[in-house]
């Protein structure tokens, strides 16, 4: 395996393709290569490209640079205040050592069904910026995950930034990661909920789901039960049922598909109530 | 208790060396020109070996030797049954079974050599489930063992039928435990060096340097035990898993064949799939009671999962079968056990030696009984506990016992009555108790030289006043060497800082059985105490001559020999030794009490017994089944605390390790293939999961223990699983966890079952 440390984005892009893989924190790629799950011809180290490490607000958008780490999310007042589900997912992400290295873009590019940052970013209508020697393009995150560990990024493309709209006072949100221990655990189910309220009506509803299908995804059918409605018990129950119904989980070492499906309903119900400040059966 | 050292908090004696990174672990050990040893392991749970072709591997440049059934003798070994071979012969019996091994100049070459070995298999039907293995016509794991039953027993003691006929109430339950690894941080490995005189040196993190020679190395290699010099390297954890270490055999055989040193280091994945994890067991319980909560009798049926080979599993099953009967006054019992071969990784011993599983089942059952009888679970236990002076129905003699004090402490500290009254609604408390041996005579017969369960120690003082303790008992991080140093320091009046306890080494140290069965503090501690007393006498005799004062008018304190009447007449210990020729020694030997059990498993297997009670408070998310352990409160009776800091570490470590086993661990076999093959899928608790732990010691001052001390390692882990399960039962208004681990999914199923 060849190793190349890029000193500029252009240099990194020039070295892409032909079995090359970009390496930032390496928290996914290194174990994948070590244990033979991935074979790569060339590792293109982008970890020194400081110009990709930023979290900034510009033109009413939050741009998260590809090399921003999960710890950077936690250190950012902007993320805490204007992307709170993302902030909460970062709190539950692995452990401090991994959070210090793992990059936001890496978590998305790895395209694990259980990628912790994906549900909140999906719910916040994230758009990813992709660059290659041919040029740049943008893509909604909801169109980025194609299938199990398969993304819309072409082999030569580098994710350079993730862009979200900041949440405002009208947004109600909640996040939960169901896991088997309190750190360094793959999600059994991850759910992020964002509701944009206009007076008592839900103008926009977004529910991001993780670890319950081949890809992280938006629970569109569940959202439809909420959008444009005054949300009461009936709407919440309908959304929860739709979320459970829409899930395509698998059995694995962590939980059965049946349990995961049931939890989709439980968590969506609970998070909607939490977001709206409604009484819950038990605290999350 | 006027001791100056014993009972106080001290750091473990090699703490500075460990935290500064100076410790040499097995992987750090460098032997000049050492080859890398690696094993080829079976990819199949069950297959016939048609042919092993190693010729291409042998031709690869850099490969020194390839071993397989083709060029090694048929020398089956095993502690209870000789059912295992160095390299598989006619069949492979689990995924991970050793088929061949290579020694090569480096890891890459060794790995390539493994890939060049051609093995032709005829895949056979897998029998992974023990109940399926017991069915007539099931595939046989060992062709010579009909019905796949490795061991079987049926014991009736007391008037068992009358106990049930005349009972006011009877209860029945079934429990199932899982396959869990010891999950030490240091993967297993050994190094070996063949010498031109035909002898072999072996190094590794081993629980018993003496016994691995006699039960594994010598018989398989056709050599005598004293052909091997086995030296322990500093431990990176063992918890029972490094007693039966085949890596030592691999390294030694490769080294002899290559006539060069060989290091055989297992990867974490190899360790997870091919060591000897904690035995899964299926326990059916029935118990008979009087209306007032007096236990009248119990029936126990056990199906224990042996896996592919037996090792110590028959003894583990025995421990599971009988242990809890001795914690309570049990008038009658009927016990049936069957140990079943399967095509799964061979199971083995881990901290608790079956008692974690047995205590989980029985103590869970007790709370169901308390519920049925309308009694408080703590009161039910307090009514039935064994006491000092009791002889149990199996013949166990209780020499000291403070379990009731431990339980009353837990009840008091947890505000038990009030919390019990408030139960349900997702929050609850539970407790559980246990009894454990301090040494077990049975091992002495199965593994040791004879039936004495001996230990010996040498204490050696030099002309600088420094002291070395030589003991055959190993420190695995549990603090054994520190306990020895503190005992000897107390006896000899020499500060602890002057003591050194090197790792065990059969080359020059006196015999010891090693670290298992919570035996070292009691048995090794007594041997070292006697050795220290002997050394002290010899020091005083030498000082009497040097100082011209009778020995009985002298004492030793702070490393000086002083005249009792004239403290200004004194001489440093080092000077005394120097004038006596440069070395003063003491030696001590101690033989454990108790008996070897008879054929009906009757007798007193240990000198004495330790006890504990663990209490847990949990919060249960009733919709997701997620359990949070809010606090743990526990009381332990280790006889007497020798090193308070070490004892606290044992308790906290035991509780968290037990909680981890109870709630998240598991190798998760599926048709004989393990799914927990790394620490990503095999979860162990982290500091984030550890609950606050409040605890205290209840010192029963054992009559046989050094300064009254007995074992603590295993009572620190045994009850926590049941305590958590009982708290979940209380919190949920009746969700009983019958299968481990306590995952959210299982808890939710149990909640739904309780609601029906």
Q: CA-CA distance, A179 to A17, in Å (whole number)?
A: 36
Instruction: Please identify which residue in the block is written with the tokens 């990503």.
Output: B680
| Kind plus residue range of the DSSP H or E element containing B305 | strand B295-307
Instruction: Please identify which residue in the block is written with the tokens 């020109």.
Output: B33
Catalytic residue among B120, B665, B714, B752: B714
What's the whole-number mean pLDDT along residues B112-126? Answer: 98
pLDDT computed for residue A35 by the predictor? 85
Residue B619 annotated in active site? no
Residue of A31, A183, A253 best to disrupt the B interface, most CBs of B under 10 A: A253
Instruction: Please identify which residue in the block is written with the tokens 């004492």.
Output: B555
* B111 touches A: beta carbon within 8 Å: no
Angle at B187 between CA B182 and CA B189, to 5 degrees: 120
**How far is the alpha carbon of A281 from chain B, nearest alpha carbon, in Å?**
8
- Cβ within 8 Å, pair B683-A185: yes
pLDDT computed for residue B201 by the predictor? 98
* B748 touches A: beta carbon within 8 Å: yes
What's the whole-number mean pLDDT along residues A60-82? Answer: 97
Question: Is B745 buried (19+), middle (13-18) or exposed (0-12) by CB count in 10 A?
Answer: buried
* B623 touches A: beta carbon within 8 Å: yes
* B140 touches A: beta carbon within 8 Å: no
- Cβ within 8 Å, pair B668-A253: yes
pLDDT per residue as tens digits for the range B307-346? 999 999 999 999 999 999 999 999 999 999 999 999 999 9
The per-residue pLDDT of chain B, averaged, comes to 96
Can you give B246-295 as a three-state secondary structure string?
Answer: HHHHHHHHHHHHHCCCEEEECCHHHHHHHCCCECCEEEEEEEEECCCCCE
- Cβ within 8 Å, pair B686-A266: no
Architecture of the CATH domain B15-23+454-591? 2-Layer Sandwich (3.30)
Residue of A259, A261, A279, A280 best to disrupt the B interface, most CBs of B under 10 A: A259
Work out how many CB contacts closer than 8 A connect A with B.
51
Contact B201, B229 (CB under 8 A): yes
Q: How confident is the model at residue B295 (pLDDT cuts 50, 70, 90)?
A: very high
Please, where in chain B does CATH 3.30.365.10 lie?
15-23+454-591, 281-441+597-755
Question: Is B690 buried (19+), middle (13-18) or exposed (0-12) by CB count in 10 A?
Answer: middle
- Cβ within 8 Å, pair B686-A255: no
Instruction: Please identify which residue in the block is written with the tokens 């009736």.
Output: B156
- What residue in A sits closest to B689 (Cα-Cα)? A182
Closest partner residue to A181 (CB to CB) among B621, B676, B685 is B685
Q: Please name each of the domains of chain A with its CATH number.
A: 48-112+126-164 (3.30.465.10), 171-276 (3.30.390.50)
- Cβ within 8 Å, pair B626-A281: no
- Cβ within 8 Å, pair A180-B743: yes
* CATH T-level assignment (fold) for domain B281-441+597-755: Aldehyde Oxidoreductase; domain 4 (3.30.365)
| Both tokens assigned to B559 | 């490393």
The percent of residues in chain B predicted with pLDDT above 90, rounded, is 97
Q: How confident is the model at residue A281 (pLDDT cuts 50, 70, 90)?
A: low
- Cβ within 8 Å, pair A183-B426: no
**Residues on chain B touching A280 (C-beta within 8 angstroms):** none
| CB neighbour list of residue B146: distance below 8 Å, 6 or more residues apart | B140
* A263 touches B: beta carbon within 8 Å: yes
- Cβ within 8 Å, pair B623-A253: no
**Residues on chain B touching A181 (C-beta within 8 angstroms):** 664, 683, 685-686, 688-689
* A256 touches B: beta carbon within 8 Å: yes
Architecture of the CATH domain B31-124+188-265? Alpha-Beta Complex (3.90)
pLDDT computed for residue B446 by the predictor? 87
Please, where in chain B does CATH 3.90.1170.50 lie?
31-124+188-265
Closest partner residue to B622 (CB to CB) among A188, A253, A282 is A282
Q: CA-CA distance, A76 to A53, in Å (whole number)?
A: 13
Contact B354, B323 (CB under 8 A): yes
Q: Is B449 helix (H, G, I), strand (E, B) or coil?
A: coil
pLDDT computed for residue B448 by the predictor? 87
- Cβ within 8 Å, pair A181-B676: no
Q: CA-CA distance, A79 to A61, in Å (whole number)?
A: 12
pLDDT per residue as tens digits for the range B564-622? 999 899 999 999 999 999 999 999 999 999 999 999 999 999 999 999 999 999 999 99
**Residues on chain A touching B622 (C-beta within 8 angstroms):** 281-282
**How far is the alpha carbon of A129 from chain B, nearest alpha carbon, in Å?**
31
pLDDT per residue as tens digits for the range B338-387? 999 999 999 999 999 999 999 999 999 999 999 999 999 999 999 999 99
Between A17 and B748, name the one with better pLDDT: B748
pLDDT over threshold 60, residue B749? yes
**How far is the alpha carbon of A252 from chain B, nearest alpha carbon, in Å?**
9
Residue of A37, A110, A180, A267 best to disrupt the B interface, most CBs of B under 10 A: A180
Closest partner residue to A178 (CB to CB) among B626, B683, B685 is B626
pLDDT over threshold 60, residue A263? yes
Q: CA-CA distance, B304 to B325, in Å (whole number)?
A: 18
**Residues on chain B touching A255 (C-beta within 8 angstroms):** 743-745
pLDDT per residue as tens digits for the range B490-546? 999 999 999 999 999 999 999 999 999 999 999 999 999 999 999 999 999 999 999
**Residues on chain A touching B743 (C-beta within 8 angstroms):** 180, 255
**Nearest alpha-carbon partner for A207 in A182, A172, A233, A179:** A172
**How far is the alpha carbon of A262 from chain B, nearest alpha carbon, in Å?**
9
* A186 touches B: beta carbon within 8 Å: yes
* B588 touches A: beta carbon within 8 Å: no
Contact B69, B88 (CB under 8 A): yes
Residue of B683, B740, B746, B747 best to disrupt the A interface, most CBs of A under 10 A: B683
Kindly state the DSSP code that residue B738 receives in the 8-state scheme. Answer: -
Strand partners, B619: B427, B628
Asked if this assembly's ipTM is beyond 0.90, the reply is yes
pLDDT over threshold 80, residue B733? yes
């Amino acid at each position: 395996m060849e190793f190349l440390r890029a000193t500029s984005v252009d240099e990194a892009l020039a070295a892409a393709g032909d079995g090359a893989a970009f390496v930032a924190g390496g928290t996914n790629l290194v174990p994948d290569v070590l244990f033979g799950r991935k074979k790569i011809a060339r590792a293109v180290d982008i970890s020194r490209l400081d110009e990709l490490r930023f979290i900034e607000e510009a033109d009413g958008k939050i741009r998260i640079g590809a090399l921003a780490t999960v710890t950077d999310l936690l250190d950012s007042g902007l993320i805490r205040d204007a992307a709170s589900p993302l902030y909460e997912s970062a709190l539950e992400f692995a452990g401090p050592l991994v959070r210090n290295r793992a990059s936001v873009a890496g978590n998305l590019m790895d395209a694990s069904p259980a990628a912790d940052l994906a549900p909140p970013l999906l719910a916040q209508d994230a758009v990813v910026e992709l660059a290659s020697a041919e040029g740049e393009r943008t893509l909604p995150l909801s169109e980025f995950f194609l299938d199990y560990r398969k993304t819309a990024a072409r082999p030569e493309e580098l994710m350079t930034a993730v862009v979200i709209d900041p949440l405002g006072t009208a947004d109600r949100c909640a996040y939960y990661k169901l896991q088997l221990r309190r750190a360094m655990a793959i999600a059994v189910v991850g759910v992020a909920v964002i509701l944009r309220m206009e007076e008592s009506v839900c103008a926009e509803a977004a529910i991001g789901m993780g670890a319950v299908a081949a890809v992280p995804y938006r629970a569109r059918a569940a959202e439809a039960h909420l959008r444009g409605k005054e949300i009461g018990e009936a709407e919440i129950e309908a959304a929860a049922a739709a979320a459970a119904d829409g899930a395509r989980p698998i059995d694995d070492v962590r939980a059965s598909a049946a349990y995961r499906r049931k939890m989709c309903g439980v968590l969506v119900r609970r998070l909607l109530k939490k977001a709206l400040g409604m009484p819950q059966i038990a605290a999350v | 208790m006027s001791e100056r050292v014993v009972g106080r908090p001290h750091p473990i004696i090699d703490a500075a060396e460990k935290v500064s990174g100076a410790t040499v672990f097995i992987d750090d050990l460098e032997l000049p020109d050492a080859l890398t040893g690696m094993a080829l392991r079976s990819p199949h749970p069950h297959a016939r070996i048609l042919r092993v072709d190693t010729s291409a591997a042998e031709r690869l440049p850099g490969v020194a030797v390839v071993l397989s059934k083709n060029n090694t003798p048929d020398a089956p070994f095993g502690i209870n049954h000789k059912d295992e071979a160095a390299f598989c012969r006619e069949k492979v019996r689990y995924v991970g079974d050793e088929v061949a091994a290579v020694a090569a100049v480096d890891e890459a070459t060794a790995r390539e050599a493994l890939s060049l070995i051609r093995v032709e298999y005829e895949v056979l039907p897998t029998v992974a489930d023990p109940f399926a293995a017991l069915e007539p016509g099931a595939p046989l794991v060992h062709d010579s063992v009909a019905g796949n039953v490795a061991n079987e027993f049926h014991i009736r003691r007391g008037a068992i039928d009358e106990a049930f006929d005349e009972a006011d109430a009877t209860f029945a339950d079934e429990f199932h435990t899982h396959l869990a690894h010891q999950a030490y941080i240091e993967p297993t490995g050994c190094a070996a060096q063949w010498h031109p005189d035909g002898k072999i040196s072996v190094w590794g993190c081993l629980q018993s340097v003496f016994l691995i020679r006699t039960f594994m190395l010598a018989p398989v290699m056709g050599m005598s035990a004293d052909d091997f010099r086995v030296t322990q390297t500093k431990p990176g954890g063992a918890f029972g898993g490094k007693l039966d270490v085949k890596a030592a055999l691999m390294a030694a055989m490769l080294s002899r064949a290559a006539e060069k040193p060989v290091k055989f280091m297992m990867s974490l994945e190899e360790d997870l799939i091919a060591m000897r994890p904690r035995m899964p067991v299926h326990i059916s319980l029935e118990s008979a009671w009087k209306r007032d909560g007096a236990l009248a009798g119990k029936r126990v049926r056990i199906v224990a999962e042996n896996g592919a080979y037996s090792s110590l599993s028959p003894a583990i099953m025995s421990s599971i079968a009988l242990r809890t009967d001795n914690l309570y006054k049990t008038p009658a019992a009927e016990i049936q056990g069957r140990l079943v071969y399967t095509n799964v990784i061979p199971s083995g011993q881990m901290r608790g030696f079956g008692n974690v599983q047995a205590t989980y089942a029985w103590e869970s059952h007790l709370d169901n009984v308390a519920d049925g009888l309308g009694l408080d679970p703590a009161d039910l236990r307090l009514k039935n506990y064994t006491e000092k002076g009791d002889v149990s129905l199996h013949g166990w003699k209780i020499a000291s016992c403070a379990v009731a004090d431990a339980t009353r402490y837990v009840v008091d500290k947890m505000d038990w009555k009030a919390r019990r009254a408030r139960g349900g609604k997702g929050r609850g408390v539970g407790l559980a108790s246990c009894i454990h041996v301090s040494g077990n005579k049975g091992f002495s017969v199965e593994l040791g030289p004879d039936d004495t369960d001996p230990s010996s120690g040498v204490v050696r003082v030099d002309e600088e006043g420094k002291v070395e303790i030589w003991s055959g008992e190993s420190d695995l991080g549990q603090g054994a060497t520190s306990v020895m140093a503190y005992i000897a320091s107390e006896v000899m009046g020499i500060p602890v800082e002057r003591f050194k306890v090197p790792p065990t080494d059969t080359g020059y140290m006196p015999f010891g059985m090693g670290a298992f069965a919570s035996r070292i503090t009691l048995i090794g501690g007594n041997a070292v105490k006697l050795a220290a007393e002997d050394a002290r006498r010899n020091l005083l005799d030498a000082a009497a001559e040097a100082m011209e004062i009778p020995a009985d008018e002298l004492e030793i304190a702070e490393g000086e020999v002083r005249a009792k009447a004239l403290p200004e007449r004194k001489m440093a210990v080092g000077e005394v030794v120097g004038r006596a020729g440069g070395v003063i020694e003491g030696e001590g030997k101690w033989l454990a009490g108790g008996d070897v059990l008879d054929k009906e498993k009757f007798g007193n297997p240990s000198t004495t017994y330790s006890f504990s009670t663990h209490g847990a408070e949990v919060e249960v998310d009733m919709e997701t089944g997620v359990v949070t352990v809010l606090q743990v409160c526990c009381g332990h009776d280790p006889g007497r605390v020798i090193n308070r800091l070490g004892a606290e570490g044992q308790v906290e470590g035991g509780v968290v390790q037990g909680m981890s086993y109870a709630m998240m661990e598991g190798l998760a076999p599926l048709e004989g293939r393990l799914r927990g093959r790394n620490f990503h899928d095999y979860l162990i608790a982290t500091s984030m999961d550890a609950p606050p732990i409040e605890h205290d010691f209840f010192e029963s001052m054992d009559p046989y223990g050094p300064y009254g001390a007995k074992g603590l390692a295993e009572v620190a882990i045994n009850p926590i699983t049941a305590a958590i399960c009982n708290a979940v039962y209380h919190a949920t208004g009746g969700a009983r966890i019958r299968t481990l681990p306590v995952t959210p999914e299982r808890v939710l199923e149990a909640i739904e079952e309780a609601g029906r």
